[in-house]
Every structure is written in structure tokens, then in C-alpha cells.
Amino acid sequence: VPVDGSHWLSMREVLDMLQQKGHEVVVVAPEVTMYIKPSKSFVMKRHSGPLSTTEEMERDFKAFLYSLFEEGSFLERYLKVYKHMKRLGNLAVSSCQHLLQN
């Protein structure tokens, strides 16, 4: 059960190596992802998630990235980053809940 983004890009290499060694790999991922795509290296199983479109996911992720580089006092920047991290964390928890309820 991968996490989209850089975690997935790192995990993908490991999955490819496992498949080359003869293992059958099954990836369980939400229907809406940015980077997790089907491959010959593994079987893909999809589940519903909290986001309905890739655009919605990209918008949330970009808002988080932009908050990292915004101007302002340390406290203002910290609170903005915290708000976005909390939103992304809530999305991850919601995705897990969707998976377990499916």
C-alpha cells in the first residue's frame, strides 16, 4: 500500500527488483493518484479514496509546496505549513479508512 509521491518513486525500484527475482507483487492504491500507475512488474488493485480527481490532488500538493516558500514571519510560515501538513495527513487517514471499508 504505497504513498503517492517520492515514497512511491523509491518503492517502485524495490518492486521492480522483487519482480525480477520471481516474486509476485500486488500494489493496492487509491483510484486517484499522481504517480502510481499500472506496470508489468506488479498487479494493481484500486480502491476508492477521499479525492475524486487527480487535479484536486495536485492542487492540494502544490498548495503545500507553495506554503514552504512563502514570505512572512517564521510563525506565519510555520502555521501555513502546519495547516497544509494537517490537511495532507487527514487525506492519508481518510484514504486508509476508504481502503479498510472497501
Q: Are residues 79 and 42 part of one domain?
A: no
Q: What is the pLDDT of residue 73?
A: 92
Q: Are residues 28 and 7 part of one domain?
A: yes
Cα–Cα distance, 102 to 98 (Å, whole number):
6
Q: What is the pTM of this model?
A: 0.70
Q: Are residues 42 and 4 part of one domain?
A: yes
Each residue's pLDDT expressed in tens, for the chain with a length of 102 residues:
777 777 888 899 999 999 999 999 999 988 888 888 998 899 999 988 888 788 888 888 888 888 888 888 999 989 988 998 898 888 888 888 888 887
Q: Are residues 42 and 83 part of one domain?
A: no
Q: Are residues 86 and 63 part of one domain?
A: yes
Domain of residue 78, residue span: 50-101
Q: What is the pLDDT of residue 101?
A: 87
Rg value, the chain, Cα:
16
Q: Are residues 67 and 40 part of one domain?
A: no
Overall number of domains in the chain: 2
Q: Are residues 62 and 37 part of one domain?
A: no
